[in-house]
Every structure is written in C-alpha cells, then in structure tokens.
C-alpha cells in the first residue's frame, strides 16, 4: 500500500472528537498485523511492537480538530498541483502515514520499534495520559507537523477553569445582588496586569515566544438579560516557558481568588520539555535546533531523547489543511534513517 493511499485511508475516517476512532484503529491494527506486530488496544489507544526491548518508539495522535467552511469534502484527500488537501493531513495523519509506510520498507528482523497511537490529543490528552507510563523506550519520535525540521522542545501547559459565584436577583434591583460577571471582569483585569508586569518580563530565549503566554479562551455567565448573574466561568490557558512559572501562577491566582467567592479547578499542569540530543547523524536533515511554542504529547513522557518531526508545510488547524507530497516522502525517508540509526 503506497504512502499516498495510506494517507487517503487515514483521512477518510472522521476522527473529530474520536468519532471514527475504532474504525481507524482497526485499519492500523490490520496493517501492522501484516508485518507481525504484536497489538494491544488500551481503551481508544493502540500499542504495538515487533519485538522485545525496542530502542525507539513512534507516537502519534489520531484525532483531528473540527473544520469550518471547507472547500469540498474534508474527509477525501484532494490533490491540487503538489498539495495533498484533507482534514488531518498535516496534524497529524501525514506523520502516521509516513511511519506506516516506512515500516513496509524496513528489515524488521533487525529494526525493532514500538508504536503508540493515541486519541483525544486535541482536547484533553486523555490518550497519552492513559498510556504514558507504558512508554519506556529511550528514544522517542513524535510525528507532529514541523515541515521536516527537528523540534527538540515544546512549552508546558497550565490550564485553569475558574467559577465565580455572585447573588442572583432581578435586574431592576441590581444593588441587592452580586454580579458574578463583574466579579470575573475585575479578576481578569488583575490577572492581565500580572501577565504584563511579571510573566511577559520573565524572559528565557529557549522559545521563540520567550515568556509564558496567557490566553483567556472562554467566558460564560448569566442566564437571562433581566437577572443579575449568579455565576460566571472562565478558562485560562498558559503555555509555560519555565518550570517555576507553574507554581508562581498558581500561588498568585489562589491568593487573588481570596477576594472573590470562587472555585479554582486545575485542568492541566504539565512541565515544558527540552531535549538536547544530537541529530547531526541524519543525512540531509537540517541541523538547526528549533523549539515550538505549542504543547505536544512529548511533555507527558519521561524519556530525555525526544525528536518531534513531521511533514509540512505546517497548516494545522487551518481551512483546507494540506501537506506536499514531496514533504511526505521526505518524512518517510527521515523516519527510516532515524529508526535505523537507533537500531544499529
């Protein structure tokens, strides 16, 4: 099965919020069985290996984000000039297609590899959280899109949900109530000041955005226009630059919330991941070491040698997401070289 056909098959499964997770994992399982891989299904994840004590593992998530105003069918790969357009082609079914195709060309009597295919990466990382303790291989390859440039570090993540509670009354007598939206707005003003005066000034140049970034992504509150709202909720997303920022933020938020009737829920708390491995052994691979401001499954894994590498260009989460055929073929070749190196 050629690499382009593998990619088309993977894209044909609607894995938005893991809808066709079982069908996609069934396809991967049947494919790998042809090459005598031992398969284990762990809830919605698939774990495979072709021998004992492999020295390298590949990790890839199978879910995708949703799409908006797509041209044509997002679950059918459309070829335009050199582009392979389809939902998930870049993030990250292209990387999965490259590793599956690479396996078909290897001498599997000599090349030992473990494979971990996860679910729910785009929302709560439920898949990698479920299986991360199983990943013992010393060298890890993650197929996130990088335009075939090796990425050796990704930021950490601190995700907070905060509920503010007021006192609901009729809108004609607002002074007798406590407006939870106003309470939330007051908190946001103080949190943004902390972000600008502290986090943004604490610079570390390991990342292109050289400080811990903050985004308030969701806010919900109130029930009707003629009632003072009794509850308001926000989500806050921090992409962590330095380990110490996690505790700094939590301490600040907890102290600030003492001024409000509020509930803090820490949804995610994961450290940044930096890897200083030497990748100069890979022929024709850029020796430039780059990091990513986004967060990946790498941060859940204990192994110190992690390379994040996948085809491009990087069009993840974009309308009419695509990769080029040349980049996909190059990625397969790079995966083969990396796996061969770690199995010498």
Helix axes 94-103, 325-342, angle to 10 degrees: 50
Task: Catalytic residue, from 18, 91, 120, 121: name it.
Answer: 121
Answer for the pair 242, 272: CB distance below 8 angstroms, yes or no: yes
Which letter does DSSP use for residue 270 in this model? E
Task: Catalytic residue, from 18, 63, 120, 332: name it.
Answer: 63
Bridge partners, residue 291, by sequence:
153
340 SS3 class: helix
Taking the C-alpha atoms of residue 58 and residue 252, their distance in angstroms, rounded to an integer, is 38
Taking the C-alpha atoms of residue 321 and residue 178, their distance in angstroms, rounded to an integer, is 46
Answer for the pair 243, 181: CB distance below 8 angstroms, yes or no: no
Taking the C-alpha atoms of residue 297 and residue 144, their distance in angstroms, rounded to an integer, is 9
Active site residue 63: yes
240: how many CB neighbours lie within 10 A of its CB? 25
Residue for token digits 């439920």? 126
Active site residue 2: no
Catalytic residues: 63, 121
């Amino acid at each position: 099965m050629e690499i382009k056909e593998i990619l088309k098959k993977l894209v044909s499964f609607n894995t938005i919020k893991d809808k066709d997770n079982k069908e996609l994992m069934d396809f991967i399982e049947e494919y790998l069985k042809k090459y005598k891989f031992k398969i284990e299904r762990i809830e919605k994840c698939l774990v495979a290996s072709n021998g004992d004590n492999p020295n390298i593992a590949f990790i890839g998530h199978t879910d995708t984000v949703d799409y908006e105003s797509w041209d044509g069918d997002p679950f059918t790969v459309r070829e335009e000039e050199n582009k392979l357009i389809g939902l998930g082609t870049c993030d990250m079914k292209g990387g999965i297609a490259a590793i599956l195709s690479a396996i078909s060309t290897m001498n599997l009597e000599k090349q030992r590899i473990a494979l971990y295919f996860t679910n729910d990466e785009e929302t709560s990382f439920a898949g990698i959280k479920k299986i991360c303790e199983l990943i013992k291989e010393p060298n890890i390859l993650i197929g996130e899109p990088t335009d075939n440039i090796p990425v050796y570090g990704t930021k950490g993540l601190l995700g907070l949900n905060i509920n503010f509670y007021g006192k609901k009354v009729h809108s004609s007598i607002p002074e007798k109530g406590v407006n939870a939206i106003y309470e939330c707005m007051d908190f946001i003003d103080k949190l943004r000041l902390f972000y600008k005066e502290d986090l943004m000034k604490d610079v570390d140049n390991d990342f292109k955005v050289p400080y811990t970034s903050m985004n308030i992504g969701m806010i919900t509150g109130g029930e009707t226009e003629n009632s003072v709202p009794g509850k308001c909720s926000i989500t806050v997303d921090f992409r962590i630059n330095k380990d110490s920022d996690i505790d700094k933020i939590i301490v600040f938020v907890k102290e600030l919330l003492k001024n409000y009737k509020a509930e803090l829920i820490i949804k995610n708390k994961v450290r940044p991941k930096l890897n200083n491995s030497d990748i100069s052994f890979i022929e024709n691979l850029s020796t430039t070491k780059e990091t990513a401001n986004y967060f990946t499954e790498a941060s859940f894994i204990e192994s110190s040698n992690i390379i994040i590498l996948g085809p491009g260009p990087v069009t993840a989460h974009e309308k009419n997401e695509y990769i080029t055929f040349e980049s996909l073929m190059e990625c397969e070749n790079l995966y083969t070289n990396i796996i061969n190196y770690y199995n010498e």
